[in-house]
Amino acid sequence: MTAFTRSFHLRPLGIVGGAAAAAALESGAGQRLAGGRLAYTACGIFLISEGEDGAGKLETARVLPLAETISWADREGDATAAAMHDWLKRVSVSPPPFAGLALDCPAGSLPLIMGIVNVTPDSFSDGGDHADSASAIAHGIEMWEAGADILDVGGESTRPGADPVAVEEELERITPVVRGLAERGARISIDTRHAAVMVAALEAGAQVINDVSALTHDPESLGVAAKSGAPVILMHMQGEPRTMQDDPRYGFAPTEIYEYLSARIEVCAAAGIDGANILVDPGVGFGKSFDHNVDILSCLSLFHGLGCGILVGVSRKRFLASLSRDEAPKDRLPGSLAAALAAVDQGVQMLRVHDVAETRQALSVWDALNPVP
């Protein structure tokens, strides 16, 4: 959004659920967040100025009640007022269903869970655990029966420092797994950066494309996604897996990532991809330092301004251990659940996780404490 010579970003704050949400909606003090069960009653205003390096620098941040934010925008002039009211529409209205899954949290069905099925020898957490097809299929079915709404099958590790995998090898890994899971009735996304793998996976029964490069790595991927009509998940990553953690830098990570994803949505629209078929992922841990990750998780509600559903993947990631006792990946479940619930408290609609049953249990408690108002 632009106001004269300076840009600003808004994020919903004062987010409440249950009886507090009902009261805020009834009194007019709040609006539904993304059409769901939570309500927001305030706004955070990030004022951004351009630094000498061209990156957007956080100049100041303010928090105002919702009504006062609207009054502030009106005082700033017609352009700011119009941008504010457009933002209100995007943030308050439910995104359209994604891959047949409702994103408006109508009656306890959300947040959605994406179960991770890595068919790799070198993924950071479970590399080698399910590297053969039979084991990966069995693991996927276990996740599906534990309550996953979608299974994300990947044949190339994108952990920090990972080397690229030949497309032929990636195809050998994922094709039988996608087919096997699809034959058993599971909803599947394909986690890949390569157009040829997208095509093969969709032919084998996958329904969603999940690309950590937001359809930028392979010049043919944008066309494949548009032609297929498949829903796509656009993730932000600074750099590429092999070097992304060397020295990631941002002016202010949340708003810079927001602008990137906004631009990718526009590119997708120009290529013929329906906006209803897009989910966004800010890419926690992909070309981000510890501080960047914390800033992003603190500002997840910002991304509702894109008008899309939001997916967040925090499961077992390194920054969780940095906050604790440097635990190994498989010992990071408590931190994973805490971060996931913090995301859900900001209206995130989908979680990408390794531990489906445990996440489903945690969400069941959250669900009971946040009834639909």
pLDDT, one tens digit per residue, over 169-181 is 999 999 999 999 9
DSSP state string for 147-216: T-SEEEEESS--STTPPP--HHHHHHHHHHHHHHHHHTT--EEEE-S-HHHHHHHHHHT--EEEETTTT-
Is residue 332 flagged as an active site residue? no
Given 317, 325, 332, 360, the catalytic residue: 317
CA distance 61 to 44: 7
Reported as a single tens digit per residue, the pLDDT across 308-339 is 999 999 999 999 999 999 999 999 999 999 99
Hey, what domains does the chain have and what are their CATH numbers?
2-92 (no CATH), 112-369 (3.20.20.20)
Give the pLDDT band (50/70/90) at residue 241: confident
Q: What is the mean pLDDT of residues 34-60?
A: 84
First to last CA, the chain: 31
Reported as a single tens digit per residue, the pLDDT across 60-116 is 889 999 999 999 999 989 999 999 999 999 999 999 999 999 987 654 467 899 999
Is residue 159 flagged as an active site residue? no
Reported as a single tens digit per residue, the pLDDT across 293-310 is 999 999 999 999 999 999
Given 187, 264, 316, 352, the catalytic residue: 352
Predicted model pTM? 0.93
Reported as a single tens digit per residue, the pLDDT across 200-230 is 999 999 999 999 999 999 999 999 999 999 9
Give the pLDDT band (50/70/90) at residue 3: very low
Q: Is residue 185 classed exposed, middle or buried when 0-12, 13-18 and 19+ CB atoms within 10 A define those classes?
A: exposed
